[in-house]
Amino acid sequence: MNKIRVRYAPSPTGYLHIGGARSALFNYLFAKKYNGDFVFRIEDTDIARNIKGAEESQLNDLIWLGIIPDESPLNPKKEYAPYRQTEKLELYRQYAQKLVDMGVAYECYCSEEELAEMKEEQLSRGIKSFKYDRHCLHLTKEEIENYKKEGRKPSIRLKMEDNADLSFHDLVRGDIKFNSSEFGDFVIMKSNGIPTYNFAVVIDDHLMEISHVFRGEEHLSNTPKQLQIYKYFGWEPPKFGHMTIIVNENGKKLSKRDNNIVQFVSQYRDLGYLPEAIVNFLLLLGWTSSDNREIYTLSEAIQAFDPARLSTSPSMFDNHKLLWMNSYYLKNIDNNRYFEFILPFVDKNKEVSSLSIDRKKEIALIFKNEINVGSEITSELNNIFENNNPLTDEENELIKNALNKNLFNEVANRLENLEVISQESIKSLFKETQKTLGIKGKEFFMPIRLALTHSEHGIELFNIIDILGKKETINRLLSYQNN
Ligand code: GLU
């Protein structure tokens, strides 16, 4: 068998989207499973939509996820370069010319307006999917001359065969039937000399010796058009697999405008999702193991991956599951990996950022089993240090009661005399104070928590005291005492 070569071929029109990351992941898994190559190349022929920096950020995000291309514009193989379509326009032109010379493609001088009219006219006859009427298929020399004189520049259209079978076996969906007569002659080279997607992708896949293509379902109806081109050139097409759409919790196709779902990998990184959790989540977004196992490292996923188990029904993007997955990974990664990941989020709190690295690590560890995503550690620390939520009447009442019972004074005094601040020493300090004052439970803990953080929720109280330190804790408690 020839070497397995797959590719992820984004248009550089934005950041790496979760749908794109999923396509990249499945191609990558397939390549690595069979010792193949995973190629990253750029489809940048829709020039108006290209965004500066998009290629770089997409590549960086993939690498961050651990989906590392064997070849890319930055890491090209000579025999397959270039990896950006706009750098090979001349090549596409030559291949298009070959098709013209073979008589299976032809110049089309129709203007946008004429095409729009043609569409209108077909619509008025109830034809919804427009087919080019072949007006330019048999132009005379004279007609061509006249068009040229008018200053028209031709596009090139592929002449679809009449009634040819363009069916194929889809790796995900099984046999898919198409006939060439379902499609009109479509443009392969625009009049500005830029190829269309359906043409350029065939040339690229062929010249790069791509063996398998896993891509989104939205490309299903492009495949027969591409197969027609392969057929004319006499090239063997790659094997195609079209993955199902991703839907939201309401069963609607995920749209980039869906505000309930964070859409871009970089946003997840900023929120403090671990790349290994995102990869694991994406794996289950359209693929199931034979034993319903859920947790996979990337290398385990490579071992286990079987394209036959790609799902054929839409995959639901479940936010809660992703959050759960991330907290699972946060709890289970070893401490070194945890520190490497979490310290940037710890440093976003200015009080903690000035502490020693060892102290930062101690504080970070307090949260290892508490948080779901990295950014929560920043907000938890900010809450602890800012301590400025307004208190409700009920909360003020609790504090008043505590003051009447001398709770804050008592705790502050005992803390003052405490040599070592630790979980144990604070716990036993609490016990003794409870005994002395005769209060316990919520009546004891809640006022202290409120006095220290102005919040009824958060991590264990002894951890809050540990983080604030003895002096700050005492100050905060006594500030109420003095009011
Ligand atoms: N640039 C195309 C896309 O982003 C790639 C399609 C393909 O994989 O053939 O959808």
Per-residue model confidence (pLDDT) at position 483: 58
Q: Can you spell out the DSSP letters for 80-100?
A: T---BGGGGHHHHHHHHHHHH
Distance, CA of 212 to CA of 178 (rounded, Å) = 20
Per-residue model confidence (pLDDT) at position 2: 83
Residue 36 one-letter amino acid: G
Q: Are 41 and 208 in contact (CB under 8 A)?
A: yes
Quick check: CB of 201 below 6 Å from ligand 1? yes
Closest to 93 in 3D by CA, of 191, 170, 225: 191
Q: What are the tokens at 346? A: 């710890």
Quick check: CB of 10 below 6 Å from ligand 1? yes
Quick check: CB of 243 below 6 Å from ligand 1? no
Closest to 185 in 3D by CA, of 141, 231, 229: 229
Quick check: CB of 219 below 6 Å from ligand 1? yes
**From the CA of 315, how far away is ligand 1's center (Å)?**
19
Quick check: CB of 215 below 6 Å from ligand 1? yes
Quick check: CB of 93 below 6 Å from ligand 1? no
Name the residue with the closest Cα to ligand 1, atom 1.
Answer: 10
Q: Are 217 and 190 in contact (CB under 8 A)?
A: no
**From the CA of 59, how far away is ligand 1's center (Å)?**
15
Quick check: CB of 12 below 6 Å from ligand 1? no
Name the residue with the closest Cα to ligand 1, atom 3.
Answer: 10
**From the CA of 360, how far away is ligand 1's center (Å)?**
44
Other CB atoms within 10 Å distance of the CB of residue 217: 17
Distance, CA of 288 to CA of 306 (rounded, Å) = 9
Q: Which residues are annotated as catalytic?
A: 256
Per-residue model confidence (pLDDT) at position 1: 61
Q: Of all atoms in ligand 1, which is nearest to the CA of residue 215? A: 8
Quick check: CB of 11 below 6 Å from ligand 1? yes
Name the residue with the closest Cα to ligand 1, atom 2.
Answer: 10
**From the CA of 16, how far away is ligand 1's center (Å)?**
13
Q: Are 169 and 221 in contact (CB under 8 A)?
A: no
- pLDDT tens string for the chain (483 positions)? 689 999 999 999 999 999 999 999 999 999 999 999 999 999 999 999 999 999 999 999 999 999 999 999 999 999 999 999 999 999 999 999 999 999 999 999 999 999 999 999 999 999 988 999 999 999 999 999 999 999 999 999 999 999 999 999 999 999 999 999 999 999 999 999 999 999 999 999 999 999 999 999 999 999 999 999 999 999 999 999 999 999 998 899 988 888 888 999 999 999 999 999 999 999 999 999 888 899 999 999 999 999 999 999 999 999 999 999 999 999 999 999 999 999 999 999 999 999 999 999 999 999 999 999 999 999 999 999 998 889 999 999 999 999 999 999 999 999 999 999 888 999 999 999 999 999 999 999 999 999 999 999 999 999 999 999 999 999 999 998 755
Other CB atoms within 10 Å distance of the CB of residue 27: 28
DSSP state of 253: B
Per-residue model confidence (pLDDT) at position 482: 58
Q: Can you spell out the DSSP letters for 404-429?
A: HTTHHHHHHHHHHT-SS--HHHHHHH
Per-residue model confidence (pLDDT) at position 244: 93
Apex CA 172: angle with CA 316 and CA 248, to 5°?
10
Q: Are 46 and 11 in contact (CB under 8 A)?
A: yes
Instruction: List own/partner pairs for 362-370 with CB under 8 A and 24 or more apart.
Output: 363/467, 364/338, 364/339, 365/335, 365/338, 366/459, 366/463, 366/466, 366/467, 367/342, 367/459, 368/330, 368/331, 368/335, 368/338, 368/342, 369/331, 370/459
**From the CA of 9, how far away is ligand 1's center (Å)?**
5
**From the CA of 186, how far away is ligand 1's center (Å)?**
18
Closest to 449 in 3D by CA, of 422, 405, 480, 414: 480
| Pocket mutation for ligand 1, best pick of 42, 83, 199, 201 (most atoms within 8 Å of C-beta) | 201
Environment class of 278 (CB within 10 Å of its CB; exposed 0-12, middle 13-18, buried 19+): buried
Name the residue with the closest Cα to ligand 1, atom 5.
Answer: 9
Environment class of 354 (CB within 10 Å of its CB; exposed 0-12, middle 13-18, buried 19+): exposed
| Pocket mutation for ligand 1, best pick of 215, 220, 229, 230 (most atoms within 8 Å of C-beta) | 215
Quick check: CB of 189 below 6 Å from ligand 1? no
